[in-house]
Structure 1
């Protein structure tokens, strides 16, 4: 029997970013995730964006994890009138204020710069669509729920989080939706972790479901073995040192930056790190690293033992050459270092942040090396560089690309194809599968692979409505 519910695919439908799904049950409306689409001019994207629902009428948000492509629209949702509760894990609750304030501040700075440019040209300036206070208000609305505990966000809705193993606090969302005469279990994978990811466990297997929304970012391929990835990383670092230049690593402040620091600490402990300067050039990544430091003793002990961790130690202590670049002046000073340094900076897809300033000053030097350690979405500068563009425009200038570009996919915190298939196969009950959070090519391959193990999966389009 149906439960008279509907689910609308608002974002991350045939694309990787912008995770957002609207659930309606018993005259109630709530969201699974509320994430930004990443890639283009963020000011333009913010100003043209319109929610396909009335934020004031949303009763709650259930958040899988803190990454901006899953949480970044929350300040705008609040600015437009949302006053309900936001349900997430304690780890996500600690990370959210750091990410959302940084995101809003970046938007406001970009808007200020664009308005100055418009004013000089005699054009109309734009008013901000949100403020820092809206990001702060998000934290006031958060209601935490630990893994494997049952919560009741709305009448007829039961919620339980399971560990997704993707980043600190990441969760698989399990929802039991009760109508007048029936109940359905909906599972939203969020982002499923790569079992090889250091410090975190493998994604939890779910015993049963009726409907599954499953991510498909790497649905068309597996990651190379971790040992190969580490060797490739070590080789790239060594080649950069021998070439007489620096290494630039665009990395997301949350998750990827901490993983890279871990691997650098591992290479240092093994005596294989030639560079004697490592800069973490991101105030947000620095703040998040300090949160990770507080959680280190609860994370994977085998991984910690490999880098000589003792209780109470921090990642900074485990990598003595690490320098934390908090201020703009600290960041600018890095450009005076011409050899033997590793610079980790955001954003991970080079669509903003301090990394773009470093690239402007360094892409044209053939002694430098650029190492991509994460997925690059279409439309981003990172994707264009990965695809081999030899000339890019930055800050109104044409920059020739002479730095050597490396792509190391094995560091991904997303499950590869084999892990996705294993996770899906473990779910009993013959659920209806819907592939989300992936590009069409990856989804089509995963759809075929699922069919080969007896699972039929649909690939929804943006705006599609599922009734059940």
Structure 2
């Protein structure tokens, strides 16, 4: 089995790996400024997608330009999320470098999609031969999958992004299929988090304290997964809330009958949706909500823009108010600047924020302990570390623990892997 790394190696973003120049695993984009895409054009015979985040699916419609029509295999929620994200990218950036595809290519995506459930093997025929593939629940976001690829000689486990601890929406991964080679993410290889229930309780207590003191809480949250997690926490702790931005559409998408079986507890999300009030964005509505003694869950998670940047200016001057960030803030983003300096770029100017600012790590990725616990089942396998800021360091740490581990770089080609 030959592997070519087109993105996501020693970095986070634009994940893409090509097997035997025929089978493509993920084809994402890095949504930075400027955006980055996988390093070369490819014409695969088939595509397999691990989950519906932009850094794994953002460039997929571009594969359908010209005469190419490779089948694309994914779970139902991943397909639905990919379509939602692609439509959003088109509406915001269509016709620019920030959007690598057209409306016509997006329409073709519906024609080549093939959806599969967990632990239901399927075969893919390519010019390089036949592969048997199986999806396993990765516990990252709804519909996320580990991908097991078997060419008859080598079993490759592509972990995708995964979590080993239960979240509100999905249970932590328990799948440990036999594999000769493991391509493992390493996003939080240097982080150890407190137990999830402790973090959720501290978050809810903080929000309640602000509400009791007469303040307003703005909770910037990623639309896919994080918004719904926060809504479930609010429902569990009797906190009324508003929800704004793309997270509204994602919540409804997860509750579609065809996606409910991918949820840990569909009734929990249904109750959480019922507990929330959805904002429709009418003129003046957001400013009125910002004056209320309430919780507002809204995109974007790193304060790049979106409805959050309507609410934050409205509450920033009063110390009784609070901004509760719910995920990692990438260096250089407004959210990171706010956490580190107490100021944020607002309407083109860096402005001080008197409201309280807190950060909570509700990551959907395994932390260091989770990664090591997962890999313990693969001490006899070849481990390839990717999707992280310190892939080489983590591979070195694994080698010190007796693993056969390395960290390929973007552009690397590995031949006869697993033999």
Q: Is TM > 0.5 for Structure 1 vs Structure 2?
A: yes
- Whether the aligned pair in 2 keeps the contact of 1:205 and 1:423 (CA below 8 Å) is no
> Which is worse superposed, 66-75 or 128-137?
128-137
2:233 maps to 263
Equivalent residue in structure 2 for 1:465, among 404, 413, 419: 413
Q: Which residue of 2 aligns with 1:114?
A: none
**Contact kept? 1:205, 1:426, Cα under 8 Å:** no
| Alignment deviations for residues 318-347 of structure 1 (CA, whole Å, 9 cap, x no partner) | x1xx21123x326x5122231312111122
Matched, 1:16 2:12: yes
The answer to whether residue 211 in structure 2 is matched with residue 285 in structure 1 is: no
Alignment of 1:323-402 (within 5 A): 323-326=277-280, 328-329=281-282, 332-337=284-289, 338-386=291-339, 388-402=340-354
Deviation at 1:79, TM superposition (A): 4.4
Aligned partner of 1:438 in structure 2 is 388
**Structure 2: how far apart are the matches of 1:261 and 1:103?**
25
- TM normalised by structure 2 equals 0.88
Structure 2 alignment gaps of length 5 or more:
none
Q: Give yes or no for contact 1:9–1:462 (8 Å, CA) kept in 2.
A: yes
**In 2, distance between residues paired with 1:239 and 1:76?**
48
Question: How far 1:15 moved relative to its partner?
Answer: 2.1
Q: Which residue does 1:116 correspond to in 2?
A: none
Aligned 8 A contact 1:101 1:136 in 2: no
Equivalent in 149, 153, 175 of residue 149 of structure 2: 175
Q: TM-score, normalised by structure 1?
A: 0.80
1:250 is aligned, of 203, 206, 220, to: 220
1:163, 1:203 within 8 Å by CA — same for their partners in 2?
yes
Is the 1:160–1:175 contact (alpha carbons within 8 Å) kept by the matching residues of 2?
A: yes
Alpha-carbon distance change, 161 to 133 in structure 1, aligned in 2, over 3 angstroms:
same
Shift in alpha-carbon separation, 1:256–1:209, aligned structure 2, 3 A: same
Cross-structure match for 2:30: 37
- What is the CA–CA distance in structure 1 between the aligned matches of 2:219 and 2:68, rounded to whole Å? 37
For residue 87 of structure 1, report the CA deviation from its aligned partner.
0.7
- Which one has the bigger helix percentage? 1
- Give me the CA root mean square deviation: 2.7
Contact conserved, 2:188 with 2:368, CA < 8 A, in 1? yes
Change (3 A) 1:103 1:360: farther
* Range with bigger deviation, 292-301 or 235-244: 292-301
* C-alpha distance after superposition, 1:281-339 (max 9, x if no partner): 02x322221232244576435x96xx6x8xxx55322x1xx21123x326x51222313
| Cα distance in 2 between the residues matched to 1:54 and 1:234 | 46
